[in-house]
Amino acid sequence: MAQKVGFIGVGIMGKPMAGQLITAGHTVYVYDRAEAPVQELVKSGAVACTSAAEVAGKAELIFLMLPDTPDVEEALFGQNGVASGVRSGSIVVDMSSISPIPTREFARKLEGMGVEMLDAPVSGGQIGAQNATLSIMVGGKAQIFDRVKPFFELMGKNIVLIGGNGDGQVCKVANQVVVALTLEAVSEALVMASKAGTDVAKVREALLGGFAQSKILEVHGERMIKRTFAPGFRVRLHQKDLNIALQTARNLGVSMPNTATAQELFNSLAADGGADLDHSSMIKALEKMANHAIGKDKNADKK
């Protein structure tokens, strides 16, 4: 049954996710500070709104997909935010990747207004959003999850209720740690193999058939070799996620030494102008340390 749905934040990830809801026949009210992606969705049948408050006033199920914790807080509780227009009984679903502790506070504040909240960060990148194959990690009440799950199924395949509010974000932090450390391992292996004079494409092909196989090696290993670093997931966003991971670890008294190393590699890459490259470009930081670039057009990639 078609419903009125809101979507706030229609960038690299949010635009195709909102598009899946439109394709399914729902009326989707969209808002973003950038006009271009909103207008693209309008051509597909979306309804443009001028503020988050307007979205909340027209839809009782409101999705957010925003870059960072302050962006979510502003969209929810800032001037012309969701809280200004939302009706009691509505559901807010934050699919951004943000800090778990503020997430729990946001949920408490909305609950005081008669509004339920789920945190539902995703993994799978732009390709997963476009193909509706995202992994969705959800925190919140089970009965609210059950109500929203049919909409999640339009955007993803692996949909898991982790626990209460904030637990979805904790799971996403864990995901980003695993992704960053695997990117680092694949980068080290390919740089070493290439500098040894070995065909890295063949090395990757062989590793994909063994115990080292991973989605990172499959997708991002190919990006590294082909030098296709146009962003699916930007370095600066992974930096943000690892900052959350390291801060959470400090709060819990947990040591994460290899996460800190991965963050320093991202920091080096960002300082060298790569903050808006895809996070698979981590290999460029290791290439610089080895004075050796792999893949095609090696000379053009050296600095």
Instruction: Could you list the beta-strand ranges (E) of the chain.
Output: 4-8, 27-31, 47-48, 61-64, 91-94, 116-119, 122-123, 134-139, 156-163
Asked if 37 contacts 65 with a C-beta cutoff of 8 angstroms, the reply is no
- Which residues 6+ apart lie within 8 Å of 153 measured at CB? 159
Asked if 248 contacts 176 with a C-beta cutoff of 8 angstroms, the reply is no
Global confidence as pTM: 0.89
Tens digit of pLDDT at every position of the chain (303 positions): 789 999 999 999 999 999 999 999 999 999 999 999 999 999 999 999 999 999 999 999 999 999 999 999 999 999 999 999 999 999 999 999 999 999 999 999 999 999 999 999 999 988 999 999 999 999 999 999 999 999 999 999 999 999 999 999 999 999 999 999 999 999 999 999 999 999 999 999 999 999 999 999 999 999 999 999 999 889 999 999 999 999 999 999 999 999 999 999 999 999 999 999 999 999 999 999 999 999 754 433 433
Interatomic CA distance for residues 275 and 279, integer angstroms:
9
Strand partners, 137: 160
Q: Which residues are catalytic?
A: 172
> Tell me, what's the pLDDT at 1?
74
- Which residues 6+ apart lie within 8 Å of 27 measured at CB? 2, 3, 4, 5, 47
